[in-house]
Amino acid sequence: MKLVTGNSNRALAEAVVDYLELPLTDCTVKRFADKEIFVEIHENVRGEDVFILQSTSYPANDNLMELLIICDALRRSSARRITAVLPYFGYARQDRKSASRTPISAKLVSNLITEAGANRVLTLDLHADQIQGFFDIPTDNLFSAPVFVRDIREHYDVNNVMIVSPDVGGVKRARNVASRIGANLAIVDKRRPRAGVSEVMNIIGDVEGQACILIDDIVDSGGTLVNAAEALLKAGAKEVSAYITHGVLSEGAGQRIGNSKLKELVVTDSIEATDEVKSTANIRKLSIAPLLGEAIARTASEQSVSSLLD
């Protein structure tokens, strides 16, 4: 078994190989003067089971091209099996036609990964379950819920916690966490007049005097979280925190979260944090390296991965 990484999240790749007690495969992923990407594998991978760890986060197109070219390099080097490990699957929010004459980019990206030579995919908290079916190769979608539940038990009194979904579409994800800790569930009823903008309409559920924890898969601008936190506090919540799998946190989001009424925002390291995010006092990182490492080890040894979801 060998693990290769591009430039999207080297810190996470190093944490995963530390867990697996393996070295990172020596390879070069660089750019020519015109920004073309060049990849060279410096070790023999013939007949090997190779895992490529690469989040397709910002800059999404560069990191996606790195993944595709690494796949091609490994396929042409006679790797026995190539598994694309995508802690964060970019373009996942484009999983359907949102209007006339718009693409389904998540399907296009899944086709590109398959055609580049990937034999299977391992990813985390897909934005929509149907994306798993966009791939014509075996795809394992891990969940961060067990990691979140452990951390919530360590930092909160679960007898006084209310799990909150920031929108109706995320109810299944929030209910999964709520059922694991025996907490009640509330829902923020919001509408989105345009992409990137959300307005809270109502709070469904009694949050009076509760420590509310928002659960979601992606935080980008942070506007939804900030608005939801304010609405929950107005409805009588004692405090509001959030556990989000993928901290996209585009420019300005760190400052927005830092100036908000959120007690803390906990994100995983599926996306490498920017300097702005690292300097924000109420944003905390939770590592998913052990979860990914164990899933990779089980995939390599042909053991069950589904038990990791329990």
Burial class (CB in 10 A: 0-12, 13-18, 19+), 302: exposed
222 marked among binding-site residues: yes
Q: What is the pLDDT of residues 84-132, one digit of tens each?
A: 999 999 999 999 998 899 999 999 999 999 999 999 999 999 999 899 9
Does the model's pTM come out above 0.75?
Answer: yes
Question: Could you give phi then psi for residue 198, rounded to 5 degrees?
Answer: -135, 150
User: What pLDDT is stored for residue 199 in this prediction?
Assistant: 66
In the chain, domain spans: 2-142, 145-286
- pLDDT category at 196 given cuts 50, 70, 90 is low
The reported pLDDT for the residue numbered 142 is 96
2-142 placed in CATH 3.40.50.720: no
Per-residue model confidence (pLDDT) at position 123: 97
Once rounded to an integer, what is the mean pLDDT over residues 198-211?
85
Residue 83 labeled ligand binder: no
What is the pLDDT confidence band of residue 306, given thresholds at 50, 70 and 90? confident
Rounded CA gap, 60 and 184, in Å? Answer: 37
- Which pLDDT score is estimated for 169? 85
Report pLDDT for 195: 60
pLDDT of residue 98: 87
pLDDT band at 224 (very low <50, low <70, confident <90, very high): confident
| 2-142 and 145-286, same CATH topology | yes
18 among annotated binding-site residues: no
CA 221 to chain centre: 15
Name which CATH class applies to 145-286. alpha beta
Helix axes 60-76, 105-116, angle to 10 degrees: 30
- pLDDT at position 189 over 70: yes
Evaluate if residue 190 carries a pLDDT over 80: no
Ligand-binding site membership of 224 (annotated):
yes
The pLDDT of residue 71 is above 70: yes
28 pLDDT above the threshold of 70: yes
- Which residue stretches of the chain are H helix? 10-20, 60-76, 105-116, 145-155, 171-181, 223-234, 253-258, 275-278, 289-300
Active site residues: 190
Q: What is the mean pLDDT of residues 228-243?
A: 95
